[in-house]
Amino acid sequence: MSPLTHSPAPGAAPMSRMVASHAVMETRLLLRNGEQVLLAVVIPVLVLLGGAEAGNVIDLGSGRRIDVLTPGVMALAVMSTAFTSLAIATAFERRYGVLKLLGASPLPRTGLLLGKVGSLLAVEACQLALIALVGIALGWRPAGGLGGTLGAGLLLLLGTAAFAGLGLLMAGTLRAEATLAAANLVYVVLLAAGAVVLPVSAYPKAMEVVLAVLPSGALAQGLRDVTSGAGLDRTAVVVLTVWAVAAAALTARTFRWD
């Protein structure tokens, strides 16, 4: 056997290497998990294909169907990754003592968070690129030019922050099984009733205000507006920012590491 000495040589790796290593590890684990891939890629693409082919069975309101659908499915993808996947993965990390072990490792909590964000953004980039490609293939023609793209980018980042904050809030307070159930339930409820894929105009008038202040409604409707050339909805930006800040503050107070 090769000589192996345990003589002490302590030291932390550079922060950038730790964060990158953590991001790669989380991404690999996510891709290995069939249910997560289903949630991240298969369901959004199916919704996009199905919605585009469903003709007039589902009323998507005014505008070309694919132009209404694609930004909504992008919001759905963000919700699945930043909220549902992150909540479930983190809850089980807590349950299996991964977070506890990392607490004694050189990776600081900020590094852990940055690693998670890195993994999250990498997965989302792939999801969004795929959805955009499928959308374009089905005839999606986003309007709004460069300003619209930047506005969409801002909404996607804020939406990610808001949903990730809520996901971590859930993962840090509930048991792993409860998180698994609740994160999926919230996903389904918001998908159906949160103005994600269906535009706000498809819901009863009385729900309009509620939908506008839900993170799902704010993100999806904001994306629909900005990619249709209607400009960046300031209200959506404010709503998502408030959710992000509130969720982060609450998570920081309540998160239990073991």
Site for another protein, rule CB under 8 A: 1-2, 4-13, 17-18, 21-22, 25, 28-29, 32-33, 92-93, 96-98, 100-101, 103-108, 258
* Cβ–Cβ < 8 Å for 158, 237: yes
Shortest Cβ 102–another protein spacing (Å): 8
Of 22 and 65, nearer to another protein (C-beta) is 22
Shortest Cβ 247–another protein spacing (Å): 24
Collapse the DSSP code of 122 into the 3-class scheme (helix H, G, I; strand E, B; otherwise coil) and give the result. Answer: helix
Shortest Cβ 200–another protein spacing (Å): 39
* Cβ–Cβ < 8 Å for 89, 80: no
Tokens at 73, concatenated: 């499915």
* Cβ–Cβ < 8 Å for 43, 184: no
Helices 65-78 and 43-53 sit at what angle, rounded to 10 degrees?
A: 160
Shortest Cβ 2–another protein spacing (Å): 5
Residue 143: strand pairing partners: 228
Tokens at 202, concatenated: 């498809």
* Residue 21: exposure state from Cβ atoms within 10 A (0-12, 13-18, ≥19): middle
Shortest Cβ 126–another protein spacing (Å): 19
Of 115 and 199, nearer to another protein (C-beta) is 115
Q: What is the DSSP letter of 228?
A: B
Place of tokens 């977070």: 99
What distance in Å separates the CA atoms of residue 66 and residue 186, rounded to the nearest whole number?
A: 25
Shortest Cβ 12–another protein spacing (Å): 4
Of 96 and 137, nearer to another protein (C-beta) is 96
Residue 228: strand pairing partners: 143
Of 108 and 118, nearer to another protein (C-beta) is 108
Shortest Cβ 138–another protein spacing (Å): 34
Of 69 and 112, nearer to another protein (C-beta) is 112
Q: How far is CA 44 from the centre of its chain?
A: 12
Cα angle vertex 68, ends 64, 74, to 5°?
145
In the chain, the N- to C-terminal Cα span, in Å, equals 38
Of 13 and 238, nearer to another protein (C-beta) is 13
Of 118 and 213, nearer to another protein (C-beta) is 118
Q: What is the DSSP letter of 143?
A: B
